[in-house]
Amino acid sequence: MPARKSFRFSRNQTIGLVFGCSVFGTASQILIKTGATALSGASVMAMVTNPYLVGGYGLYGFSTILLILALRDGELSVLYPVISLTFVWVALLSTVFFGEVLSPMKLLGILTIVAGVAVLGGGAKK
């Protein structure tokens, strides 16, 4: 039987997968927060029947699958910082969905994360 050729992702594809991981991770955090605030009690049954929590953890699992696929072919030192963009998206979307304040310090933190990802991405091997 002939050897099976393994599919490999390109550099841009692995970055796309991790970016997707960041987007789905963000959505999962928003859903988990929504579900947590909707809980009337702390029982396990209330948690496992809460559609926001179930959906949030489902998306979190999906984002983990994307991360595994990306890490198989990509550079960890380049891909993992892209995941830190999840913090940026969560901070921005928390102002929209939960009315949280985007203080100057939070904004500075966001800019620092984005700059760090850009610097690390620029240092990747081609």
Residue with tokens 């490999």: 8
User: Residue 64: is it exposed, middle or buried by C-beta count within 10 angstroms (0-12/13-18/19+)?
Assistant: middle
Checking if the pLDDT of 126 tops 80, the result is no
Which residue ranges make up each domain of the chain? 11-122
- Residues 85/118, Cβ–Cβ less than 8 Å: no
What pLDDT sits at residue 68? 93
Which residue stretches of the chain are H helix? 11-38, 44-48, 51-73, 76-83, 85-97, 104-122
42-74 residue pLDDT tens? 889 999 999 999 999 999 999 999 999 999 988
pLDDT band at 78 (very low <50, low <70, confident <90, very high): confident
Query: Per-residue pLDDT averaged across 7-13, rounded?
Result: 87
> What is the distance between the alpha carbons of residues 34 and 39, in angstroms, rounded to a whole number?
9
pLDDT for residue 7: 84
